[in-house]
């Protein structure tokens, strides 16, 4: 066994242990053991997360920040403790910089509407990249319609990497904001976000990073990055659906008006006017997803217990192994071969529609995603209607990669 093989082997042993934490992975699909490779869409949940939500509803369900009774205090403490865990996960300066939202999409939408709308005007420019998820395109297009600003797009090369010289050239005195993804959901490319942020800041331009595909796969330190906003979803981080996070620098959030009005975001209300609550509550109108936030806190404990570096290395090794298996299949083309990648493997097969690939794989118990992955401009850039996408998480093993390759060979047999 060479050192790469021994690393893969020990990584798979670790992953085998982690698998035991995820009840759903014992499921059979079409009579075969489930091979879950749709982690970029949503990750599975460890028992600890499922039990934490269950425990909240069974033992201390109450509204937060409102009651002086003991249950409400217990729920509030658990809710705010989760905020602290998220703060430490991404190394924000203060828990008040952590705004809970429904998901990445809602977190991103807050920024154009509450940072951009009152500031941007006709002729202003917002820089995005060609590999953005629709969630980091459409909210900016809506802002452009409202303000007269326009989008400028950083192109990508054939490997699926940002063309940084073009980014530098796009920056000018009209640029008002840069919004780019940390990791591409369709290609797996890890973008050089630190360089992007440094260059924008040298031009006094703030930066929003879409961290939906990064948060569970690479260590994130918002202070080291220096980003102004960072958005992600709990459900892609082994946490519950219905909870997401917007990190924002306190000074920027302080200067922004509230997003929605209602309970919890106010200090005082009269018919003559309202004064708003302090951060982060100013942006958290109404009853939040309390059980979801508590579950997210436990998911953060889970991944930090393993260590982002450890799970990232495991996924890298596994992706390299799976890539080797797939590239041997004649007529199969990997879309996205950036030098820096997470565990996302997008591919097309000559003469086979991606949905057919997905259907055959599903019949073999292998769950992948097929289609445009909410990145239609990116698909157009590569001249494909969609791809088949396998995406790895900490609990995937070499066995899963072997099952992916074996089922893909079946596709070849059937359609080739």
Which residues contact ligand PLP by CB under 6 A?
103-105, 133, 135-136, 181, 185, 210, 212-213, 233
CB of 409 to ligand PLP, least distance (A): 28
CB of 211 to ligand PLP, least distance (A): 8
CB of 288 to ligand PLP, least distance (A): 16
CB of 5 to ligand PLP, least distance (A): 32
Whether 203 contacts 293, CB under 8 Å: no
CB of 248 to ligand PLP, least distance (A): 17
Question: 273: phi > 0 → left, psi -120 to 50 → alpha, else beta; which?
Answer: left
**Three-class SS state of 96:** helix
CB of 367 to ligand PLP, least distance (A): 15
- In the complex with ligand PLP, which residue's Cβ is closer, 190 or 294? 190
Question: 231: phi > 0 → left, psi -120 to 50 → alpha, else beta; which?
Answer: beta
Dihedrals phi, psi of 221, to nearest 5 degrees? -130, 100
Whether 268 contacts 274, CB under 8 Å: yes
- In the complex with ligand PLP, which residue's Cβ is closer, 212 or 352? 212
Residue of 103, 144, 227, 374 with catalytic role:
374
Dihedrals phi, psi of 330, to nearest 5 degrees? -60, 135
Rg of the Cα atoms in the chain: 22
- In the complex with ligand PLP, which residue's Cβ is closer, 131 or 205? 131
What does 26-91 look like in DSSP terms, one character per residue?
A: G-EETTEE-EE-BTTT-----HHHHHHHHHHHHH----SSS--SHHHHHHHHHHHHHHHHHHHHHT
- In the complex with ligand PLP, which residue's Cβ is closer, 124 or 210? 210
- In the complex with ligand PLP, which residue's Cβ is closer, 190 or 357? 190
Whether 365 contacts 32, CB under 8 Å: yes
Dihedrals phi, psi of 224, to nearest 5 degrees? -65, -40
Residue 391, beta-bridge partner list:
38, 344
374 catalytically annotated? yes
DSSP 134: G
**Three-class SS state of 380:** helix
β-pairing, 244-248 vs 332-335, is unpaired
- In the complex with ligand PLP, which residue's Cβ is closer, 15 or 183? 183
Structure tokens at 265: 């975001």
CB of 193 to ligand PLP, least distance (A): 13
- In the complex with ligand PLP, which residue's Cβ is closer, 344 or 405? 344
Point out the residues that are catalytic. Answer: 374
């Amino acid at each position: 066994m060479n050192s790469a093989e021994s690393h893969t082997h020990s990584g798979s042993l670790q992953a085998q242990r982690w698998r035991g934490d995820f009840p759903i992975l014992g499921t059979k699909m079409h009579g075969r053991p489930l091979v879950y490779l749709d982690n970029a869409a949503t990750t599975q949940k460890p028992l600890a997360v499922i039990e934490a939500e269950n425990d909240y509803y069974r033992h201390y369900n109450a509204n937060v920040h409102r009651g002086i009774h003991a249950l409400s205090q217990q729920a509030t403490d658990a809710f705010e403790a989760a905020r602290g865990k998220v703060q430490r996960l991404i190394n924000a300066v203060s828990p008040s910089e952590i705004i809970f939202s429904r998901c990445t999409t809602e977190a991103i939408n807050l920024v154009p509407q509450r940072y951009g709308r009152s500031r941007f005007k006709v002729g202003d420019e917002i820089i995005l990249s060609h590999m953005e998820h629709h969630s980091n395109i459409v909210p900016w297009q809506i802002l452009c319609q409202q303000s007269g600003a326009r989008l400028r797009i950083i192109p990508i090369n054939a490997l699926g990497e940002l063309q940084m010289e073009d980014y530098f050239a796009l920056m000018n005195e009209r640029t008002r904001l840069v919004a780019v993804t940390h990791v591409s959901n369709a290609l797996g490319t890890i973008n050089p976000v630190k360089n992007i942020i440094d260059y924008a800041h040298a031009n006094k331009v703030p930066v929003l990073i879409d961290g939906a595909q990064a948060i569970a796969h690479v260590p994130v330190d918002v202070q080291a990055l220096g980003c102004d906003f960072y958005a992600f979803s709990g459900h892609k981080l082994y946490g519950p659906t219905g909870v997401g996070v917007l990190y924002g620098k306190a000074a920027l959030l302080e200067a922004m008006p509230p997003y929605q009005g209602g309970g919890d975001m106010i200090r005082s209300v009269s018919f003559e006017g309202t004064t708003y609550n302090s951060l982060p509550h100013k942006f958290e109108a109404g009853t939040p997803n309390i059980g979801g936030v508590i579950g997210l806190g436990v998911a953060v404990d889970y991944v930090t217990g393993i260590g982002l570096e450890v799970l990232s290395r495991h996924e890298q090794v596994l992706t390299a192994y799976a890539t080797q298996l797939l590239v041997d299949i004649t007529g199969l083309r990997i879309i996205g071969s950036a030098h820096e990648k997470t565990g996302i493997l997008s591919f097309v097969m000559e003469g086979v529609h991606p949905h057919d690939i997905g259907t055959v794989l599903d019949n073999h118990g292998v769950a992948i995603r097929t289609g445009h992955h909410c990145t239609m401009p990116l698909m157009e850039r590569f001249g494909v209607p969609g791809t088949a996408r396998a995406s790895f998480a900490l609990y995937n093993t070499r066995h899963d990669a072997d099952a992916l390759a074996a089922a893909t060979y079946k596709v070849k047999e059937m359609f080739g």
